[in-house]
Amino acid sequence: MIIDFHTHTFPDHMATATIELLKQKSRTENFSDGTADGLSRKLKEAGVDLAVVLPVVTNPAKTSKINDAAARLNERTAETHVFSFGGMHPDTPDYKSELKRIAALGLKGIKLHPAYQQVPFDDIRYERIVGYADELGLIVSVHGGVDIGIAGDWSTPARARKLFDDVHPRKLVMAHMGGWMMWEDVKRYLCGLPLFLDTSFSCGSFGYQASVPAEERLRPLAEEEFTDIVRRHGADKVLFGTDSPWSDHAAQIALIRRQPLSDAEKAAILGENAKKLLQL
């Protein structure tokens, strides 16, 4: 089984405009159209069994609306193989009630994005949300490290470590191998902890626009560094992710399969770990 634990989709009527806006900020190219049906087609082409969609809430007043849309998306999971988490904002009104509603809707987890939400990850508001989500058995997926389109140290490995030490969540997932462009800090602060790292948009080639000079392109995690982090952290705590629409499924699967890891470790990363975490 192959499970992509980190994808993004947008409502059909907004997808084209949203993709274009994000492309301008990041200067990268997309590999799918950003719709749920577009993602579903890519999954089928690459032989991926399930994709987890991670909605980012940038306006706290829209939290409930976004979570309702996630629940509607999940009504078609058997057909599309696309399953959405909920989203939360640190300023979501009555966060406990909304987290309870997320759990009741069967969304299984939430996405937090400190850079887009402009709040440091070790802020008390996130600690409260992560702590209560943990009480409810929800998975918490968090953007880790630098954001390619937004400046600031909103979600560094050091901030993640502080929150982890304060809250001790059991189902925390730090995206982008724990901290995009902060690989040494991932090793220092996160490797070995009982939390998950996802592989999304960390290793391999990215679709930069042709106009972006080579010297201005961010350096991805080298494959030997990727394997080093996996070994330090433990393959049983690493989840396959693509950050679709920003990475190609087939290329990212091939990257995992060519690593100097055992077949069991590769299978765990590509889907078995996620299967257990999602309790499928």
DSSP string, 201-252: TTBS---B-TTS-GGGSPPPBPHHHHHHHHHHH-GGGEE----BTSS-HHHH
For the cut 80, the answer to whether the pLDDT of residue 32 exceeds it is: yes
Q: What are phi and psi of 103, to 5 degrees?
A: -65, -40
pLDDT of 13: 85
pLDDT digits (tens, 9 = 90+) for 6-20: 999 998 888 888 888
| Ordered structural domains, the chain, with CATH | 3-278 (3.20.20.140)
Nearest Cα residue to 87 out of 104, 114, 67, 72: 67
What tokens were used for 21? 């806006």
Regarding pTM above 0.85, the answer is yes
pLDDT digits (tens, 9 = 90+) for 134-167: 999 999 999 999 987 788 899 999 999 999 999 9
Handedness of CA 91, 97, 99, 101 (dihedral sign): negative
pLDDT digits (tens, 9 = 90+) for 198-251: 999 999 876 666 777 776 667 789 999 999 999 999 999 999 999 999 889 999
